[in-house]
Chain A
Amino acid sequence: MSEHESSSDPSSLSRRGFLKGIGVGTAATGLITAVKPLAEAAGNDPSLLGPGEIPVTLAVNGQSRKLNVEPRVTLLDALRNRLDVTGPKKVCDRGTCGACTVLVDGNPIYSCSMLAVEAEGRAITTVEGLGTPDRLNAVQKAFVDHDAQQCGFCTPGFVTAATAYVRKHPNAGTDEICRGLGGNLCRCGTYAGMLLAVADAAKAKGGV
């Protein structure tokens, strides 16, 4: 499940390709349905985890956070429900909409589609780690300037995906930006502002 690091540039992949690349989508549900056999086997195989809670340490926004979670808990639910890191949003909960996007070792991933236990030992950055209301990063500032949000529920995911994209593609043009943000969905319809915002942020090279 960590093969996605081997893909040289995940942000250039389509949503489907990206999902396929990290082998998610079925993994989480697969584990839930496999709870019983796991439980029976766990006694014999020390490499199997659970089904009860196990201690996990997550590096979130530069802080080491200890928590106990069942192995079936997604990174998204661990962040939101256990650590009160609620920037990443739960919307589709199956790797479609991108509202839960976080950076894992600098790469954008859908945190609804990664298990918390898999994220151990990796650097997790959520939208909260990119900037604060008083110190916005270039993408966040550009989102505010271009009013690239309405209800704002998709905004953290877009800001996170856009930040990762702009870091890798500082000279991105409109078509490329559209591609970079193709894995996120907005319901209010803020794409016009987003496009201008990300183009602005792309110009502010290295500022994110």
Chain B
Amino acid sequence: MATSQWPDAAQRSLLGTRISRVDGPLKTTGAAKYSYDQNRPGMLWAKVVSSPHAKAEVSGIDTSAAEALKGVKAVWKDDLKEVQYAGQIVAAVAAETEEIAVEAANLIKVDYKPVEHVVKDTDPELSKERPSKREAGKVEEALAKADIVHSGHYGLPVITHCCLEPHGQVMELREGELYVWPSTQNVSGYADRVLGETVEVPQNKIHVDCQHMGGGFGSKFGVDKWGTINAILAKQTGRPVKLMLDRDLELMIAGNRPSAFASIKVGAMKDGTVTAVDTEVWGTGGSGGFNAPPVPYVFTKIPNTRIVGKGIRTNRGGQRAWRAPNHPQGCFLTMSALADVAAALKMDELEFFQKNVAQTDRAEVYTEELKIAADLIGYKAKAHLRGAGAAGPVKRGLGISMHTWGGRGHPSECDVTINPDGSVEARLGSQDLGVGTRTSVGIVVAETLGLPLAAVRVQLGKNEYSKSGASGGSTTIGGIATSSRLAATAALNEVMAKAAGQLGVAADALEARDGNIRVTADPTKKIAWKNACSLLGANAVTKRGVCVPGDAEKEKMISQGVGGVQIADVSVDVETGVVTLNEMVAVQDCGLVINLKTAESQVYGALIMGITYALYEEAVYDLRTGRMLNADMEFYRLAGIRDVGQLKVHMMTGKGYDDRGVIGLGEPPVISPGGAIANAVANAAGVRVPNLPLTPDRVLAALSQKGAMA
């Protein structure tokens, strides 16, 4: 009998090695079909009409000119009386060509009466909501007793997800069944009640198919308004309809990471021990809510803390989960304030963080990671106190940040079928966001059955397969690794039961290795996989594996809670304010690694995404008109290949890590770059640049303030 426990290091053939993703050849040749690429026979193109005003009363929508345009097949308009943000969708058309749809959308006349709006989010006085408050210990007392009290202001603006494949889908309503090709992080859960009721199709007749999706980062879980509209247009026309958001709307309304601005007081003793953190934090989730980010972050055992949160509701698109919701904010705010304390104490930043590591939940892991990260970047040789670098206009500096995340696997079901000819198939209603989920399932099943990866066919991306959780919060890998392992083990045991009779031993004396079912104690006694499967006779065996997270955690198949350390090495030109990333290292644990290659890719990618929000990203709003000024990719800047410097990734594996089981990795490494890079800039320039992104104007402003203060 095979057991579902993860094999020891010596027993692994695929797990934890570097394996190229199985759909790489599809993606590099254009053969991978995304939602945006679905061209159905007779398909129409839809375009939406959206509000140019941040807030306005709507008295009428005239679609007659659009309806009269040749090639227009359907028009939809909302019956709303008010719009709450620029970009809010009010009407839509479906037409024979994309060009006609654009033209028709332009012909729709909406009567707006603009009213006063709020898009500003930098002033806590704008908060109209009851502040949230969390308190522990005695903050005032601790601050009074502290050797040093540092006060600082810090902030990060709203940024957007900017998925390269925009939000949207293709829908087709045929013979009472709704077929949807959405770009989604939530295949099994996409077809919700509202979607069905909108077009009077029961949920059991909604077919969801998403084989490849072009980025979500937390913003693609639901049907959304554009999905509902698409369904209505498909029903009205009886034809397939494609509705993908244009780039400007993608940036304005399809995902915003909330801003966070904070006033932070930190009390510390001369030896660097932090004793109190007092925080007031405010920001906006646009038309959505605001939750105070966690400050102090990571150093949660600091005994005296208070945080007051003030949400500012603004007339902007609503917030959506952005990779590790609230953590990048809490991390940047905390790490900046703490590094400023170290600088005020004239203490080395690494020594300061090591000093306080006991105030974290994972002191041992962080201690080890801090050491590895410091060695990787050559900390000792390069480090200097804040502003004490070499002479000349280009200053170099290092900055440190630490982060944490949960990452426990989600509920997931997976079916594994072993056919009498030996072929194997795994099916589950999960999705591959580009993290290599398809490949990971294949690796787990192949490892379990002792087969090469190519022997396993993995089918996902359809809601007709067994239900698997949405991909958010780094929960996928734990869920799908467990369900596919359990399913493959159960199916294997059926084959082993047959093979046992043939080999004349008990089933629990067998193992599946190297393409054989063999006797563990005497590997020469074996049956080739194909021959063993033929013993199944005419019937394939299919077994379902179910990941119940609590049970899986007890069985040590999964767990949660990781730590990571990142150090950035930057140059700051104090004459131009330009920040250059020289090097960045990331040290990360995530339990048992399924595929080292794609795991490393996740961390590299997170570093680059983090460099991007640290240096470039900001949704810039015009206070007067309430419109986003940079809703395009020219002025909403993403880092290019020349902007990211040298990157090093170190995954914590082996004893003490592998035996924790599988833990998610998508979120953690994207949390620290803001803090690490901002601290490196402060270390180099000799002055804190308090707000991200660290653009030249902000750097120069901080430098001139420093001059004024001196």
Chain A residues close to B by CB (< 8 Å)? 70, 72-73, 77, 80-81, 84-94, 96-97, 99, 126-128, 130-134, 136, 139-140, 143-145, 147, 149-156, 159, 178-179, 181-182, 184-195
Nearest-Cβ distance from residue A60 to partner chain B, whole angstroms: 12
Question: Given A80-B37, A151-B434, does the pair A97, B642 have CB atoms closer than 8 Å?
Answer: no
Among candidates A86, A97, A126, A127, residue contacting B33 with C-beta atoms closer than 8 Å: A86
Of B36, B45, B164, B640, most buried by chain A (CB within 10 Å of CB) is B164
**B434 contacts which chain A residues (CB < 8 A)?**
149-152, 188
Complex CA gap A90/B34 in Å reads 11
Among candidates A86, A97, A130, A153, residue contacting B215 with C-beta atoms closer than 8 Å: A153
Among candidates B27, B39, B604, residue contacting A155 with C-beta atoms closer than 8 Å: B27
Nearest-Cβ distance from residue B50 to partner chain A, whole angstroms: 16
Q: What is the number of contacts between chain A and chain B, taking CB atoms within 8 Å?
A: 187
| 11 examples of A-B residue contacts, CB within 8 angstroms | A92-B632, A133-B31, A140-B25, A147-B598, A150-B601, A151-B433, A189-B606, A189-B607, A190-B604, A190-B605, A195-B641
Nearest-Cβ distance from residue A180 to partner chain B, whole angstroms: 9
Q: List residues of B (201-219) whose CB comes within 8 Å of A's CBs.
A: 212-215, 217
Residue in chain B with minimal CB distance to A92? B633
Mark B138-157 against chain A: 1 for CB-CB distance below 8 A, else 0: 00000000000000000000
B247 within 8 A of A: yes
Question: Given A133-B25, A178-B641, does the pair A188, B605 have CB atoms closer than 8 Å?
Answer: yes
- B214 near A151 (CB under 8 angstroms)? yes
- A93 near B29 (CB under 8 angstroms)? no
- B632 near A143 (CB under 8 angstroms)? no
- B605 near A130 (CB under 8 angstroms)? no
For the residues of B in contact with A, the DSSP-based class is loop
Question: Given A96-B633, A140-B28, does the pair A194, B641 have CB atoms closer than 8 Å?
Answer: yes
Residue in chain A with minimal CB distance to B106? A32
- A140 near B29 (CB under 8 angstroms)? yes
- B36 near A89 (CB under 8 angstroms)? yes
**B433 contacts which chain A residues (CB < 8 A)?**
150-151
B609 within 8 A of A: yes
Complex CA gap A131/B30 in Å reads 9
Complex CA gap A92/B164 in Å reads 8
- B638 near A144 (CB under 8 angstroms)? no
The 10 closest A-B pairs by CB, nearest first: A87-B30, A189-B608, A153-B214, A151-B434, A189-B605, A152-B27, A144-B24, A86-B37, A150-B434, A133-B25
Q: List residues of B (433-448) whose CB comes within 8 Å of A's CBs.
A: 433-435
B246 within 8 A of A: yes
Q: List residues of B (551-567) whose CB comes within 8 Å of A's CBs.
A: none
**B31 contacts which chain A residues (CB < 8 A)?**
87, 128, 132-133
- A153 near B633 (CB under 8 angstroms)? no
Among candidates B34, B97, B217, B601, residue contacting A190 with C-beta atoms closer than 8 Å: B601
Question: Given A81-B39, A132-B29, A144-B28, does the pair A187, B598 have CB atoms closer than 8 Å?
Answer: no
Residue in chain B with minimal CB distance to A131? B29
Complex CA gap A73/B99 in Å reads 7
Complex CA gap A149/B32 in Å reads 12
Complex CA gap A189/B581 in Å reads 15
Among candidates B21, B214, B246, B602, residue contacting A93 with C-beta atoms closer than 8 Å: B246
B644 within 8 A of A: yes
- A91 near B247 (CB under 8 angstroms)? yes
- B641 near A181 (CB under 8 angstroms)? yes
| Besides the known contacts A81-B45, A86-B36, A191-B641, 6 further A-B residue pairs in the complex with CB atoms under 8 A apart | A77-B98, A80-B39, A152-B32, A155-B28, A185-B164, A188-B434
**A178 contacts which chain B residues (CB < 8 A)?**
641-642
**A77 contacts which chain B residues (CB < 8 A)?**
98-99
Residue in chain B with minimal CB distance to A128? B30
**A149 contacts which chain B residues (CB < 8 A)?**
21, 24, 27-28, 434
**B701 contacts which chain A residues (CB < 8 A)?**
none
Residue in chain A with minimal CB distance to B100? A70
Nearest-Cβ distance from residue A57 to partner chain B, whole angstroms: 19
Complex CA gap A194/B212 in Å reads 20
Complex CA gap A86/B63 in Å reads 32
**A126 contacts which chain B residues (CB < 8 A)?**
30
Residue in chain B with minimal CB distance to A143? B28
- A136 near B28 (CB under 8 angstroms)? yes
Residue in chain A with minimal CB distance to B609? A189
